[in-house]
Amino acid sequence: MKPRDLLYTARDVLREMLRFDAAADAVLARLFRARPQLGKADRQVLADTLYQVLRHLRLFQTLAASDESIGGAMELRLAILGWSGNAQSLHAALSPEQLEWRKRLLAQDAMALPEAVRWSLPEWLAVALQAHYGAEYAALAQSLLRPAPLDLRVNVHKARREAVLDVFARLGLPARVTPYSPWGIRLEGKPALQDLTVFREGWVEVQDEGSQLLAVLLAPRRGEMVVDFCAGAGGKTLALGAMMRSTGRLYAFDVADYRLAKLKPRLLRSGLSNVYPVAIAHERDERVKRLAGKMDRVLVDAPCSGLGTLRRNPDMKWRQKPEDISELTTKQANILQSAATLLKPGGRLVYATCSILPEENSGIVNAFLSAHPDFERIPADAVLRQQGVEGENLVTQGDLQLLPNRHATDGFYAAVLQRRPASSSGG
């Protein structure tokens, strides 16, 4: 497609995306299905442009509204400001007037603008982050504007990390180990993973390093009974199954059949035989009740605002509202309550979210512990050290707290809870 046509395609897709009634990646997937003639390079420019606009939406809207000299719809001006093709395609896509307008606006000193505009945050979220993170707020807000790296998890059931790194070196793909996860590899660029044998054969899975550390905290052992309570498409389920060396029983619960369906091809690639996907109607489902008191370990990666993943999903900050957070915290508390009934005395539960808001994180855990004296908090850094991960700088007030500005991961929170052994229950 000609760059000029690609620009106007971006304008049209933005009209749909900015209604925020569907996830940005779903809108993009629909576009690509409807236009199979789009080549790989065109798709990349479109995706990069649209995500650049979503990341910087409030700033770009402010700039575009300040100078309407080129005319055209707001969506077109946003696409011009966010254009992410190379210099040649930029000049082919824009008229001389549009080029000059873009250059003039992007050269403005954004420091004169309010912080929430400069860092493209909705007002309610800027206030919440500033209140909780204080002096770190600026660094965190800026880090959320940068695209995330491509992290992989090596499937230890099939391969060693050194062997996978050797493969990437032979292929000329720059890769390095992640600083914290014992199975993580960080790739540079955006290689077509589905074309690589290491991916097709199940040696690696795409998984942010922070997400990998949730499995490290749960630390399931061979032969145990384990539940991934909100399994989704199963990224963490597969990490847990590999840690268990495909022994024991690992239940993958989720309320959405379509999410569990995405686990099936990944499970096939992984070579694991200990995973049992189970669709449940809700957290109080009879299939949950039948397993009460039988589990050694339970992971609760609770449904959340997803605000820790803004580097990958920048539309989340525009789609979430304060009232949504209130609804989510009620759901999170109910899920944690139900998941906790599964544990044996002495069993371990990890409660986690990919949120950076305390009300979804420590607020939920502290309220649960107050109401359940038969549970206690285990310091996350001690658990990480037991697993060979130096975790002091990963932990805040006893719980895992990962932030993109500190750790180059998505924003993750996790608390390690243990059901007290029967002899000390209630003590």
Residues annotated as catalytic (active site), given as ranges: 354
Q: Phi then psi for 247, rounded to 5 degrees?
A: -110, 175
Q: Judging by beta carbons within 10 Å of its beta carbon (0-12, 13-18, 19+), is residue 14 exposed, middle or buried?
A: buried
Measured CA to CA in angstroms, residue 187 lies from 106, 146, 206 at distances of 30, 16, 10
Query: Strand 412-419 relative to strand 184-187: parallel, antiparallel, unpaired?
Result: unpaired
The rounded distance, in Å, linking the Cα atoms of 97 and 370 is: 63
Distance of CA 220 to the CA centre of its chain: 22
Question: What is the spatial distance between Cα 12 and Cα 28, in angstroms, rounded to a whole number?
Answer: 11
Burial of 286 (0-12, 13-18, 19+ CB in 10 A): exposed
Round to whole Å and give the CA distance between 370 and 314. Answer: 35
Q: How far apart are CA 307 and CA 339, in angstroms?
A: 23
Q: DSSP per residue over 291-306, as a string? A: TTT-EEEEEEE-----
Record the tokens describing residue 196, joined without a space: 């690589």
State which H helix or E strand residue 287 sits in. helix 286-289
Q: Which of 139, 127, 129, 123 is nearest to 356 (CA)?
A: 129
